[in-house]
Amino acid sequence: MHVAMYIFGILTFVSACGVVFSRKSLHSALSLVATLFLVAVHFALLEADFLATLQVLIYAGAIMVLVVFVIMLLGLDEQVENPVLKLPALFAALLCGIFAGVFVYVFSKASILFVVAEPSSPTVLGDAHSVARLLFTEYIFPFEVVGVLLLAAVIGAALLAREDKRPLLPGRGLKAKRKEFAPVPDDEPRAESRGE
């Protein structure tokens, strides 16, 4: 347990550094896939089987497919970003170092704060059955709200990503659209839809 924990922990840290410091965005994406898989391994080591499965399915599967799809769609896989070594970047690095240092200090000291928390029942396992039991009884309302949130996200994404993104004001509805898509004479210039 401990050996695996340390090995996978170091690997996670290294691949997370790869996400931040890679010069190509596709390399960042691949490092992120590795990081997400390694975090799933940590979930499995922490007896959260259900979450480990979800991590692989949702994060490493669905979300990363979206990210890589967008990178390929925009043709950013050949773009090389030069490393930023200016003063603001160094200042940010210093700030994040202090941030991490404070966290590590607090966590190394704070373990006495929750020493009482021995697992009361050793059979608490994060398998799908027990998590779902909690999710569909006590947390049923947040679960429904999350469903609504996902619906709103789908509608919002479709609205944002469509080609013509003028707002659907009165006069911009379906009837106006139909009129707009009717064949126009060539000498009449069409309204420019984009900003530039």
Partner 1 sequence: MEVVTFYLVLGAMLFSLGTLGVLIRKNAIVMFMCIELMLNGVNLTFVALARHMGGLEAQVFVFFVFAVAAAEAAVGLAIILAVFRNYRSIEVDNASRLAG
CB of 184 to partner 1, least distance (A): 23
As measured in angstroms, the least distance from the Cβ of 183 to partner 1 is: 25
Q: Which is nearer to partner 1, 141 or 181 (CB)?
A: 141
Q: Give the nearest distance from C-beta 82 to partner 1 in angstroms.
A: 10
Interacting residues of 80 by C-beta distance below 8 A, sequence separation 6+:
23, 24
> Of all helices (H) and strands (E), which one includes residue 96?
helix 87-110
* Residue closer to partner 1, measured from CB, 64 or 176: 64
Long-range contacts of 65-74, Cβ-Cβ distance < 8 Å, separation of 24 or more: 67/29, 67/32, 68/26, 68/29, 71/25, 71/26, 71/29
As measured in angstroms, the least distance from the Cβ of 81 to partner 1 is: 6
User: Please, what is the minimum distance in Å from the beta carbon of residue 114 to partner 1?
Assistant: 7
Closer to partner 1 by Cβ: residue 131 or 176: 131
Other beta carbons less than 10 A from residue 93's beta carbon: 12
Q: CB under 8 Å to 32, separation ≥6 — which residues?
A: 15, 19, 64, 67
Across 115-143, b (16+ Cβ under 10 Å) vs e yields: eeeeeeeeeeebeeeebeeeeeeeeeeee
Please state the φ and ψ torsions of residue 80, each to the nearest 5 degrees. Answer: -105, 125
Which residue, 42 or 176, is less far from partner 1 as judged by CB?
Answer: 42
Q: Given the complex with partner 1, which of 90 and 185 has the nearer CB atom?
A: 90
Q: Which phi-psi region, left, alpha or beta, contains residue 80 (left: φ > 0; alpha: ψ -120 to 50)?
A: beta
Closer to partner 1 at the Cβ: 83 or 185?
A: 83
In whole angstroms, the minimum distance from the beta carbon of 187 to partner 1 comes to 28
